Structure 1
Amino acid sequence: MRPYTVCKPTRKHTAQRYAQNTDRTRLNEAVTEGISPESKEAGRIVMLHKEWLGMTWKKYSKEAHRALGSLYTSDERFKHYYDQEVPGCAEFLEQAILCNIDGQ
């Protein structure tokens, strides 16, 4: 029997996890602080989200990003994921994407 080994995360995997956690932290803070989805900070959150998507998407498009934002509020699984720590994050992210994506 072969000994059990633990796979170490790759640099890309670690970068993806860091980017996702940074995105979520700033998103949680924005909702907690009552930041507007139209604000510059919301635009920065959308940019972080876009960068995170870029780590897994082969081709980025604004249309797909908008559709994903809509999915965050219409699909309960996504809504639960984003709202589990701070309620309202899914809706904030959807609105922030709609308000800021064209400036990206």
Structure 2
Amino acid sequence: MITCVVEYVIDPSEIEAFERFGNRWMRLVARHGGTHHGYFLPAEGASDKALALFSFPSLAAYERYRTLFGNDPEFIEADRIRDDSGCVLRYERTFMRPLLPEPPREGTGDR
């Protein structure tokens, strides 16, 4: 599994547009084989930082999804929300592999 972590610098005055943008991308990731873990928006502290995390079973699966950028009408429309509103000032994408908790083993007392 590979997880993409996207760190955004956003325009705080365009938070509603960013939420529309995020909702659209969450649906697209799910529709094309990924698992979206959500967008994390400013609550306290810096008002211009946001994160998104989503996973694909492999880098190859993610790359298949990426082939739709700039080609598929739904992907173009999702990007248009960002471009027309200016809600995203910049972003940086990092790929990570998750270390997830192991389920407890029966009879060992592990929790």
Tell whether the structures are fold-level matches, with TM greater than 0.5: no
TM-score (norm. length: structure 2): 0.30
TM-score (norm. length: structure 1): 0.31
- The structure, 1 or 2, with the larger RCO (C-alpha pairs under 8 Å, 6+ apart) is 2
Structure with the higher helix share, 1 or 2: 1
Structure with the higher strand share, 1 or 2: 2
